[in-house]
Amino acid sequence: MSTYEYDFFVIGAGSGGVRAARTAAALGARTGIAEARFFGGTCVNVGCIPKKLYTYAAHTRHDIADSAAYGWHTQTPPVFEWSLLKQNKDKEIKRLNGIYKNLLSAANVDIHEGHARISGANRVTVGDREITAKHILVAVGGQSFMPPVPGIEHAMDSDDFFELTSQPATVLIVGGGYIATELAGVFSGLGTEVTLAYRGDSLLNGFDEDIRTFFTDAIKSYTHLKLNSDIERIDTLGDQKQVLFADGSKQTFDAVLYATGRVPATANLGLADHDVRLSDVGAIIVDGNFETSMPGVYAVGDVIDRVTLTPVALAEGQALARRLFGGPEQRVSYDLVPAAVFSDPQIATVGMTEAEARSCHQHIEVYRSRFRPLKHTLTGRESFSLMKMLVDKETDRVVGMHMAGDDAAEIMQGMAVAMQVGATKAQFDLTIGIHPTAAEEFVTMRTPVDD
Ligand code: NDP
């Protein structure tokens, strides 16, 4: 019998921490978890879930507009009430918080509410209580990074977005990645005039170039897009924010939102006192078994900054708990992690970009299709979808798939399974399509585009 109070103690009840704790407890480990803020972490409280709910609200605007082409007469102009959406969102998030807590209790995980820090070998302090544990997991996630621009305190981040009780009429969003593009679609769909300022010349860095070009062009239809744009300073002007851009121009907005990346939340955890090594970007360095440089201390999820996506944190947390407490072996593979941006249009991807594919394969065939979805043949909306498939000619294996358009995320989840089992282009060609869908395009792409 171990002399420690717990076999496993988890700091942080977000996606990775909760999954690890529940898995460990189910395998018979005496498990405790500490949470200082909210159960469910970023994803449930200020990330994936509320964001997706807001995207539904934003998309409803398009659905209402499109309905006329399908014979619907709306009697009065629809009115959007921001505070009602927020109230309903808050209610749902509160419900999910409760569910996360209940899942932990039902799994026999002891809950400690409060800030936890490592206080020694096999020791964690929560408030004024010292706890001993054989294994300690740090799964505290990340937090917004805001560059040190003068007046940055007048800007909000994505956490603040979810607390907004009223709708700004105009907003400046700074950044060109996941959060900036998603919130541009949300704000605009809900009726806010959006300006998006990005320091580069094409949005969604890291995605396939065709997708980036397509998206950067598409977003111009509903935002004022300022590319190669930097912000010098932000001042307040009454209730408004006045922004001075590096080109000398000035503009005022009701709100300024920075979405310029997230960093691991490693402060005040006692890591430096105990030689837990951090990378240059402040991420906890772990080995192949998620163990840090301090024996018996592990880390998973955004705090290790490998692939900062909820499903990856879940996989890491589960794999660690299984390994420590005798569950079935699980390897976390960072290859072929599908990802989606819930922007307008939606983006989803799995596998290599064209540039990556060309750098590691001799001969890549590119299949590409751009089309107007059937729905918009009646509405006349200038909305298009782009699908792209990359095939290694030598093996015929599909090495990358990319889509921009309606339902891209739902479609790409299934494609990720096909790629996971190494599907070849010939096998895609053999697959019968479901008609009429956008997804069938992926099994009917017959002719590669010219190099
Ligand atoms: P991203 O890394 O996606 O984007 C950050 C953006 O900010 C980039 O365009 C970057 O430019 C720009 N930037 C960085 N530093 C500065 C600076 N000093 N000044 C001006 N611009 C700057 O981060 P996000 O904050 O959007 O999202 C964080 C992470 O959260 C994502 O990487 C993703 O892992 C996760 N996430 C996932 C979602 C999903 O799965 N749908 C949704 C939201 C978040 P550049 O490109 O030039 O570096």
Number of the ligand 1 atom closest to the C-alpha atom of 341: 41
Strands of the sheet containing 250-253, edge to edge, are 231-237, 240-245, 250-253
Instruction: Verify whether ligand 1 is closer than 6 Å to residue 180 (CB atom).
Output: yes
DSSP 36: S
Identify the pLDDT of residue 77. 85
Give me the helix-helix angle, 82-106 and 15-26, nearest 10°. Answer: 20
Q: Is residue 451 scored above 90 in pLDDT?
A: no
Identify the pLDDT of residue 443. 98
Give me the helix-helix angle, 82-106 and 48-67, nearest 10°. Answer: 140
Measure 294 CA to ligand 1 centroid, in angstroms. Answer: 30
State the average pLDDT over residues 204-225.
98
| Domain end among 275, 300, 325 | 325
Beta strands at 142-144 and 129-138: parallel, antiparallel or unpaired: unpaired
| Domain end among 297, 325, 353 | 325
Measure 378 CA to ligand 1 centroid, in angstroms. Answer: 36
Identify the pLDDT of residue 20. 98
Q: Is residue 74 scored above 90 in pLDDT?
A: no
Q: Is residue 167 scored above 70 in pLDDT?
A: yes
Q: Is residue 1 scored above 70 in pLDDT?
A: no
Instruction: Verify whether ligand 1 is closer than 6 Å to residue 207 (CB atom).
Output: no
Same domain, 230 and 162: yes
Instruction: Verify whether ligand 1 is closer than 6 Å to residue 85 (CB atom).
Output: no
Task: Flag whether 330 is in a domain.
Answer: no
Q: Using one digit for the tens of pLDDT, what is the confidence trace for 256-275?
A: 999 999 999 999 999 999 98
Same domain, 275 and 135: yes
Identify the pLDDT of residue 214. 98
Q: Whose CA is nearest to atom 18 of ligand 1?
A: 147
Q: Whose CA is nearest to atom 36 of ligand 1?
A: 178
Same domain, 197 and 69: no
State the average pLDDT over residues 165-189.
98
State the average pLDDT over residues 402-428.
98
Q: Which domain holds residue 429?
A: 339-443
Of these residues, 115, 135, 363, 435, which one is catalytic? 435
Same domain, 103 and 195: no
Task: Flag whether 228 is in a domain.
Answer: yes
Same domain, 132 and 275: yes
Task: Flag whether 331 is in a domain.
Answer: no
Same domain, 127 and 167: no
Instruction: Verify whether ligand 1 is closer than 6 Å to residue 260 (CB atom).
Output: yes
Instruction: Verify whether ligand 1 is closer than 6 Å to residue 341 (CB atom).
Output: yes
Number of the ligand 1 atom closest to the C-alpha atom of 200: 47
Identify the pLDDT of residue 230. 98
Q: Using one digit for the tens of pLDDT, what is the confidence trace for 30-57?
A: 999 999 999 999 999 999 999 999 999 9
Instruction: Verify whether ligand 1 is closer than 6 Å to residue 342 (CB atom).
Output: yes
DSSP 176: -
Q: Using one digit for the tens of pLDDT, what is the confidence trace for 316-370?
A: 999 999 999 998 999 999 999 999 999 999 999 999 999 999 999 999 999 999 9
State the average pLDDT over residues 102-129.
97
Same domain, 268 and 255: no
In which band, very low, low, confident or very high, does the pLDDT at 76 lie, cut at 50, 70 and 90?
confident
Lowest mean pLDDT among 75-79, 242-246, 299-303, 427-431: 75-79
Number of structural domains found in the chain: 3
In which band, very low, low, confident or very high, does the pLDDT at 2 lie, cut at 50, 70 and 90?
confident
Instruction: Verify whether ligand 1 is closer than 6 Å to residue 102 (CB atom).
Output: no
Beta strands at 129-138 and 6-11: parallel, antiparallel or unpaired: parallel
What is the CATH number for 383? 3.30.390.30
Residue 146 corresponds to which amino acid?
M
Same domain, 282 and 133: yes
pTM: 0.97
Task: Flag whether 26 is in a domain.
Answer: yes
Same domain, 319 and 386: no
Give yes or no: 135 in active site.
Answer: no
Q: Decide: helix, strand or coil at residue 162.
A: coil
State the average pLDDT over residues 426-437.
98
Same domain, 119 and 79: yes
DSSP 393: T
Q: Whose CA is nearest to atom 4 of ligand 1?
A: 177
Task: Flag whether 332 is in a domain.
Answer: no
Segments of 254-341 assigned E as strands: 255-258, 262-264, 297-299, 339-341
**Cα–chain-centroid distance for residue 392?**
29
- In this prediction, what percent of the chain has a pLDDT beyond 90? 97
Measure 300 CA to ligand 1 centroid, in angstroms. Answer: 20
Instruction: Verify whether ligand 1 is closer than 6 Å to residue 308 (CB atom).
Output: yes
Number of the ligand 1 atom closest to the C-alpha atom of 307: 34
State the average pLDDT over residues 215-235.
98
- In this prediction, what percent of the chain has a pLDDT beyond 70? 100
| Domain end among 209, 230, 260 | 260
What is the CATH number for 72? 3.50.50.60
Pocket test for ligand 1, best of 15, 42, 51, 199 (most atoms within 8 A of CB): 199
Q: Measured between alpha carbons, how far is 359 from 392 in angstroms, rounded to an integer? A: 11
What is the average pLDDT value for the chain, to the nearest integer? 97
Task: Flag whether 104 is in a domain.
Answer: yes
Task: Flag whether 273 is in a domain.
Answer: yes
Number of the ligand 1 atom closest to the C-alpha atom of 158: 25
DSSP 273: G
Q: Decide: helix, strand or coil at residue 71.
A: coil
Tokens of 384: 């298009």
Task: Flag whether 15 is in a domain.
Answer: yes
Same domain, 374 and 225: no
Same domain, 284 and 233: no
Residue with structure tokens 């998973």?
Answer: 300
